[in-house]
Chain A
Amino acid sequence: MTDHETGAGATTTGGAAPVLSMEGITKAFGDNVANDHIDLDLRRGEVHGLLGENGAGKSTLMKILYGLYRADSGRILLDGEPANIHNPNDAVSAGIGMVHQHFMLVPTLTVAENVVLGAEPSRGVLLDHDQAQRAVTELSDRYGLKVDPKARVGDLSVGLQQRVEVLKALYRDARILVLDEPTAVLTPQETEDLFEVLRGFVDQGLSIILITHKLGELLGVSDRITVIRDGKVVDTVQAADTDERQLATLMVGREVVLQVERSPAEPGDIRLDARGLEVLGVTGAPAVRGIDLQVRSGEILAVAGVDGNGQVELAEALAGIRPVAAGTVHVDGRDVTGLSAGARSDHGVAYIPEDRGGKGLVSEFTLAENFVLKRYDQAPYATRGWLRGSEISRYALERIKAFDVRPANEQATAASLSGGNQQKAIVARELDGDPAVLIANQPTRGVDVGAIEFIHRQLLAQRDRGAAILMISLELDEIHQLADRIVVMFGGRIMGEVAAEGATDEQLGLWMAGRDGENEQ
């Protein structure tokens, strides 16, 4: 299966032992084999892409490398020598650095303080600030990271915070850098900058493992790509010899439709109308600062933007879960501003939240219980306050069949399903009754390609039926595939609007970074 590996890539040094080899790594959780005899080798000075769907076993493999899990069998070699990595400290001493998807930074401390945290240079019992800053400045200069060591981490953009995470690894003399979905939080421009930095790293002899499920960007930056499916290595390919279609097929195990076919939109009357909307976030600070938007029957309005720019608050305010501080929301001409989530649902507002486990589903409930989450107290699912289990099961099975949710067992707990099937269950529940307005916040976040395809088809079918769909997404690919119109949110405001046909990533990226393309600051 690794027959592509015989020829060394252009930027790799053939001959010498790989800087890292993972051999026959196997790890099971109960009956679920997350890693099944995985072989992976990383050459000095290469960017090695690790590609797989959610749940394929990428993160498990990396957690084993970083000492967070113990493999059931298999071994790890560093420079050809067997390594014993029992905990993250062992991994760090062995020169392995990891940049997690969720940053582990102290926002109130400076960049330098964060970087040295846990390995502080000291003068007596005191932290040697000068020494720390010198070290960080030197690292930052050497690798072209351009981070001010004196800046407070909380004041930095997400992209810069990510660099602080990278600096933390470099400060601990990492030779091998693992980045877990690093581009999930970045604008297209920031992604390019990051990749440039990574190319600089490999030129200086570092080796990088890049985990992602985005096909396109891997091709641009990787030397080789290992594809994992269902816990097994499917293939390791030279990035130069492959393309998106081949990678997608390897990743999913069948031919994939990357673009769902769609007919032109036929927008009708305005069904969702929000004016002057202001919403407070969890901290009480304004998260949505005056937004006007209208969605017509038969169109999909996509809201693009980097995570954390008020999208969640906007969606929740429209769905009635979060109160609005100012402004109005109308559905089909009726003022629903003061109505609760339940009442809005009765007026035809459906909502797919961004957080499956926390908001969309009760993970410990069975599928049957989850399917009646919004109608558990309505006939025929309840009479006089008593639940009717058989009716609930019957309804759940019907929806499960219609949306091909697997396993087709309504008594399985939601938590036991894969992310894709959980999401299909939510979509199945929300689309029942043909809603007037659908608010979908990251409807395909963290689900497999098959489920993405299915959910996209469902959204388009709802659009063609005449629903008004507001889709929030962090993935520009998804936005290009589904949107009829695109608005970009930054800092709680809409930075710009563009018809889907004319939208370029450059324009969207500038808006996503909070810059107005015409009046550059």
Chain B
Amino acid sequence: MTAQLQAIGRALIFPAIAIILAFAVGAVVIVATGNNVIAAYGALLSGGFGSFQSLGRTIGNATPLIFTGLAVAVPFRAGLFNIGGEGQLFIGAIAGVAVGLLLPGPGPLVIIAAIVAAGLGGWLWGAIPGLLKVFGAHEVITTIMLNFVAINLAYWLARNPLAGEGLVPGTNFVPDPVRILRLSSGLGAAHYGFVLGIVAAIVAYLLIWRTTKGYEIRAVGLAPGAARYAGMSVAANGFLAIALGGMFAGFGGGLEALGTFGKVSVPFVSNLGFNGIGVALLGRNHPAGVVVGALFFGGLAAGAQQMQFATGVPLDLSDVLLAIVLLFVTATKLVELLIGRRARSLEAGTKLEGGLAG
């Protein structure tokens, strides 16, 4: 248990440092643009977490990001980079809405069917690069390419077979009983998809760390040579992991469509899948880290609106902050340099160059 606590501590130190450093750099930007740092960050904080409404916005923003973050984190454990969360999310959204619109029956059952369809759609969309990988196509290329296919396929479906009557292009709204319920009226648009996101993170954790399948996935990701030697299939586990990742993104898309919007409009959302990569990086590809990272991303987006409104610091600063955070999170060497040897000793054994035979 203590080893696990230590692991959590190790997992958190870099993101925490990265965030602090990013805010320090952001402060310089705020001052340079002639604004008051304390007022700006105060507004950012209260806009993200200061009231029930802002908390609701944060949770609402974070919900799809938990899923797209898991879509990156789970395949990463098998050593694969899933850049296809965006497309998998679109497939999930359109699949969920299609079932929500077309399947007759009592609301709760239709909701369940729609969510399952969303997950299944995402699974299939993740399975394609998983399968192609077995034949040698690199998953980064295929997942990126399949994003374009997925987004355009979803838009075509939303504008043609599933087109609605409204002025805004896209599908009709799903019937009210098929909408995901809101958490509480005080929390604005935040819906029960957030709870499902937490559940998904827990499931992902249990799968990866408590099952034999997860053991295989981790072994394959960390040391393919050792995994092969122990009789595991690198290809099959990679396929499973990336399909699972697609499933998570699909759930995220379905819940976003059925919860937040009630439909797939054209255009629908943008960058939720890609921001999932950032969320997973910030969360160090751990399900718990993904939830925290998603809340951070969501809170920053929510707070930035308040900050712009209250102080005139442009909305774009939140993007700048996110960019710097990711820069620091990924540039561990740079952070090591800035905070010195402490971090290096924490990382010793994983990141330190090997090769010093003596």
Question: Which single member of B227, B345, B352, B357 contacts A31 (CB below 8 Å)?
Answer: B345
Query: Is the pair A181, B357 in contact by a Cβ cutoff of 8 Å?
Result: yes
Partner of B212, one of A32, A362, A385: A385
B231 CB-CB contact with A under 8 Å: yes
Within 8 A of B (CB), among A132-185: 180-181
Partner of B210, one of A54, A319, A386: A386
A365 at the interface (CB under 8 A from B): yes
Which of B215, B216, B226, B341 is most buried by chain A, counting CB atoms within 10 A of its CB? Answer: B226
Residue A420 interfacial (CB < 8 Å): no
A374 vs B212: C-alpha distance in the bound complex, in angstroms?
11
Task: Choose from A34, A360, A364 the contact partner of B356 (Cβ within 8 Å).
Answer: A34
A111 within 8 A of B: no
Stretch from A114-122, A295-303, A411-419 that touches the partner: A411-419
Q: Name the CB-closest residue of B to A344.
A: B231
Contact between chains at A59 and B226 (CB < 8 Å): no
Contact of A211 (CB < 8 Å), options: B219, B354, B358? B358
CB contacts under 8 Å to A, within B207-229, are 210-216, 218-219, 222-223, 225-229
Does B358 lie within 8 Å of A56, measured CB to CB? yes
Residues 224-253 of B, flagged 1 when their CB comes within 8 A of A and 0 if not, give: 011111110000000000000000000000
Contact between B218 and A341, CB atoms less than 8 A apart: no
Bound-state CA distance A363–B354 (Å) is 12
Contact between chains at B358 and A59 (CB < 8 Å): yes
- CB-based contact B345/A30 at 8 Å: yes
A362 to B223, CA, bound (A): 5
Residues in B neighbouring A369, C-beta threshold 8 A:
215
Q: Could you tell me which residues of chain B, from 305 to 358, have a CB within 8 Å of some CB in chain A?
A: 341, 344-346, 348-350, 352, 354-358
Distance of A362 Cα from B77 Cα, bound (Å): 13
The answer to whether B3 and A341 have CB atoms under 8 Å apart is: no
In contact, B218 and A365 (Cβ under 8 angstroms):
yes
Most A-side CB within 10 Å, residue of B214, B225, B355: B225
Could you say which residues of chain B place their CB within 8 Å of the CB of A353?
A: 225, 229
On chain A, the number of residues with a Cβ less than 8 Å from chain B's Cβ atoms is 55
A109 beta carbon closer than 8 Å to chain B: no
| A window 240-261: CB within 8 A of B | none
Q: Does A321 contact B (CB under 8 A)?
A: yes
Residues of B contacting A416 in the complex (Cβ-Cβ under 8 angstroms): 349
Do residues B225 and A359 form an inter-chain contact, with CB atoms below 8 A? yes
A52 at the interface (CB under 8 A from B): yes
Q: Are A30 and B348 in contact (CB under 8 A)?
A: yes
Chain B residues whose C-beta falls within 8 Å of the C-beta of A365 in the assembled complex: 218-219, 222
Whether B230 pairs with A341 at a CB distance below 8 angstroms is: yes
- Verify if A377 is at the interface (C-beta below 8 Å from B): yes
A271 CB to nearest chain B CB (Å): 21
Taking a contact as CB atoms closer than 8 A, the residue among A32, A181, A342, A366 that contacts B230 in the complex is A342
Q: Which chain A residues lie closer than 8 Å to B212 at the CB level? A: 376-377, 382, 385-387
Q: What residues on B are CB-neighbors of A358 within 8 Å?
A: 223, 225-226
A332-363 interface code vs B (CB 8 A; 1 in, 0 out): 00000000111101000001010101111111
Could you say which of B211, B215, B218, B226 contacts A359, with CB atoms under 8 Å apart? B226
Tell me if A355 and B225 are in contact (CB < 8 A). yes
How extensive is the interface on chain B, given as a class?
20 to 34
Supposing A342-B230, A351-B229, A373-B219 touch, asked if A364 and B350 sit within 8 A by C-beta, the answer is yes
Does B225 contact A59, Cβ atoms closer than 8 Å? no
The complex places the Cα of A353 from the Cα of B225 at a distance, in Å, of 10
0/1 string, A39-67, CB within 8 A of B gives 1: 00000000000001011111111110000
Interface centre among B223, B345, B350, B352 (most CB of A within 10 A): B223
- How far, in whole Å, are A469 and B163 apart by their CA atoms in the complex? 71
User: Quick check: B229 and A321 within 8 Å, CB to CB?
Assistant: yes
Q: Is A363 a contact partner of B222 (Cβ separation < 8 A)?
A: yes
CA distance A7 to B353 in the complex (A): 40
The CA of A62 and the CA of B211, in the complex, are separated in Å by 45
**Most A C-beta atoms less than 10 A away, residue of B214, B227, B358:** B358
B356 proximity list for chain A (CB < 8 A): 34, 59-60, 63
Residues of A within 8 A of B226 (CB): 358-362, 373
Contact with A along B98-116 (1 / 0, CB 8 A): 0000000000000000000
Distance of A294 from chain B, by nearest CB (Å): 24
A319 contacts across to B, CB distance below 8 A: 229
Instruction: Determine whether the beta carbon of A342 is less than 8 Å from that of B231.
Output: yes
Q: How far is the CA of A413 from the CA of B231 in the complex (A)?
A: 21
Q: Out of B213, B216, B349, B357, which one reaches A101, CB within 8 Å?
A: B357
Partner of B349, one of A60, A343, A345, A415: A415
Roughly how many angstroms separate A408 CA and B1 CA in the complex, as a whole number? Answer: 16
Known contacts A319-B229, A416-B349; A446/B357 CB under 8 A: yes
Contact indicator A340/B345 (Cβ below 8 Å): no
Interchain nearest-CB distance for A223 vs B (Å): 21
In whole angstroms, how far apart are the Cα atoms of A346 and B348 in the complex? Answer: 36
Alpha-carbon gap, A31 to B218, bound state (A): 28
> For residue B216, which residues in chain A have a CB less than 8 angstroms away from its CB?
376
Q: Which B residues touch A29, using CB under 8 A? A: 344-345, 348, 352
Taken together as a complex, chains A and B put the C-alpha atoms of A16 and B189 apart, in Å, by 83
Query: How long is the Cα–Cα vector from A417 to B327 in the complex, in angstroms?
Result: 32
Neighbouring A residues of B355 by C-beta, 8 Å: 59
B233 closest partner in A (C-beta): A340
Cα(A424)–Cα(B60), bound, Å: 52
* B215 interface neighbour in A52, A363, A376, Cβ under 8 Å: A376
The minimal Cβ–Cβ distance linking A296 to chain B, given in whole angstroms, is: 26
Give the CA-CA distance A25 to B12 in the complex, in Å: 34
Chain B residues near A34: list those with CB within 8 A.
356
Question: Are A57 and B358 also in contact (CB < 8 A) when A364-B350, A386-B210, A413-B349 are?
Answer: yes
From 91 to 142 in chain B, residues with beta carbon under 8 angstroms from any chain A beta carbon are: none
Q: A181 to B355: give the CA distance in the assembly, Å.
A: 13
Closest to B206 in A: A386
Complex contacts, B222 vs chain A, CB 8 Å? 362-365
Can you list 13 A-B contacts (CB < 8 A)?
A29-B344, A58-B357, A59-B356, A211-B358, A343-B231, A351-B229, A362-B219, A362-B227, A376-B215, A377-B212, A387-B215, A413-B349, A416-B349
Q: Which 8 residue pairs spanning A and B have beta carbons closest together?
A: A342-B231, A30-B345, A58-B358, A59-B358, A411-B3, A359-B225, A362-B223, A358-B225
